[in-house]
Amino acid sequence: MSGQKSILLLGSGFVAEPCLEYLMRSGNNVVTVACRRVAKAEELAVKYPGTKAISLDVEDDAALDAAVAGHDLTISLIPYTQHARVMKAAIKAKKHVVTTSYISPAMEELDQAAQEAGIICMNEIGLDPGIDHLYALKIINEVHAQGGKITSFESFCGGLPAPEDSNNPLGYKFSWSARGVLLALRNNARYWQDGKLVEIQGKDLMDSARPIYIYPAFATVGYGNRDSSHYRERYNIPHAQTCVRGTMRYQGFPEFAKTLVNMGFLDDAPQQLLSAANTEPLPWNKVTAQLLGSSSDSPSSLLEAIEAKIDTQDPEARKRVMHGVKWLGITSPEVQAAKRGTYLDVLCARLEDLMMYGEGERDMILLQHKFEVENKDGSNNTRTSVTLMYGEPNGFTAMAKTVGVPCGIATQLILDGKITKTGVIAPMTPDVYQPILDLLPSEGINAVEETI
């Protein structure tokens, strides 16, 4: 077929299929799905005629070099720690790469070599990072073009259950492992607030959560996501006295999550009691008693000890947390704990038992950018940009679609010669982000803008 392009897709996780589905529409693409276990690749490839599946160990440099060299472009949807390895293979072969991950220092170091090889290593083109950049920069550049300046920028994004499916005390559900969500609760946050640099330790992150007002139907709260202080420079908004990018959750999540943190559940040190080598039954009350150092494992004693770990003094919020603890079953002598080795992993197993998406349930993506603007004439206004998207029951999740489809769009634009900027890049300039923005609405991905 004339103009046919070959694409190597590394990984077959939940975001891979929307990306693959988009790329197979053109009729000109041949995609090879590669996983360490070929059966995983075949599960995805069999759904799309013309797609091939191979076994590939990306830590085998020779095999990776050969696979990358044999395709026009490689999409890396494997763990971010492997992206630099993939890019090195691409630089050798003078072939393009696309990832949805943040540019790590190891990836950034390859920028000059990528430019010299004449290749594009496109990154940060999923949801967060990705779509969030596109809609933020659109408004920022519009304001600058009109002679105005951004005096405050706040951005919050959440992957959440749709309201009707947020039916548990955390108001949260998992499409995959709970571990990453729990580990994120340990991250420090750093951002600008009213001209001051704010630094929050991971242990205090949940205490910093505050209401985020978007639509009256949503009771959402937000807290800082890692280090967003450098976005003043990255987005070219030096006048922004406030600059924060954060995570959004439903009301009630921070208080409950902070209680689990206070109890010590984020401890990932191996525990003999929790080892698979322990042949004794492991009811949850025994786990929680050891975690809390309680001499009694009776549910009433444990509940009393847990109540002392709740930080909020709001009576209603305290009641909600205690209801959540009982629902979780972590003081029960009847509920058995999974022997996963650490407190963190034992809790993950329990959350995954109780909080996975069920048949016909749907997720939701909610992203809000909020800008305070000083116009050229000295007047002020507030501009907002809101992306709200729901998953398809028993189809693609909103999270998978908003990560996978932008990745697919960027891939196609590179193959078609419509994005040409070489090096290790992110969609930070109009020549890169505008072609992607132009195609998102036809995929059902939009932002509703308002000026107040």
Catalytic annotation, residues: 128
Query: 405 near 18, Cβ under 8 Å?
Result: yes
The answer to whether residues 107 and 84 touch, using CB atoms and an 8 Å cutoff, is: yes
How many Å apart are CA 364 and CA 162, to the nearest integer? 5
* Nearest Cα residue to 5 out of 405, 414, 401, 404: 414
Token couple for 328: 């979780």
SS3 330: coil
**Cis status, amide bond into 393, omega within 30 of 0:** no
Helix or strand run (H / E) with residue 102: none
Give pairs for 319-326: CB < 8 Å, separation 24+: 320/169, 320/252, 320/255, 320/256, 321/169, 321/255, 321/256, 321/259, 323/169, 324/169, 324/170, 324/256, 325/259
Distance CA 133, CA 120 (A): 18
DSSP-derived 3-state class of residue 319: helix
Secondary structure of residue 212 in the 3-state scheme: strand
The answer for 341, left when phi > 0, alpha when psi is -120 to 50, beta otherwise, is left
- Closest by CA to 135, choosing from 314, 366, 305, is 366
SS3 277: coil
Which letter does DSSP use for residue 162 in this model?
-
Helical H segments across 329-417, by residue range = 343-354, 398-415
C-alpha span between 272 and 374 (Å, rounded): 60
Q: Are strands 196-200 and 423-425 parallel, antiparallel or unpaired?
A: unpaired
Task: Give the side-chain half-sphere CA count within 13 A for 90.
Answer: 34
Q: Residue 97 forms beta bridges with which residues?
A: 74, 121
Instruction: Count Cβ atoms below 10 Å from residue 118 Cβ, excluding itself.
Output: 12
Which residues neighbour 437 within 8 Å (Cβ) at sequence distance 6 or greater? 134, 135, 138
Q: Which of 187, 177, 185 is nearest to 355 (CA)?
A: 177
Closest to 182 in 3D by CA, of 291, 287, 271, 258: 258
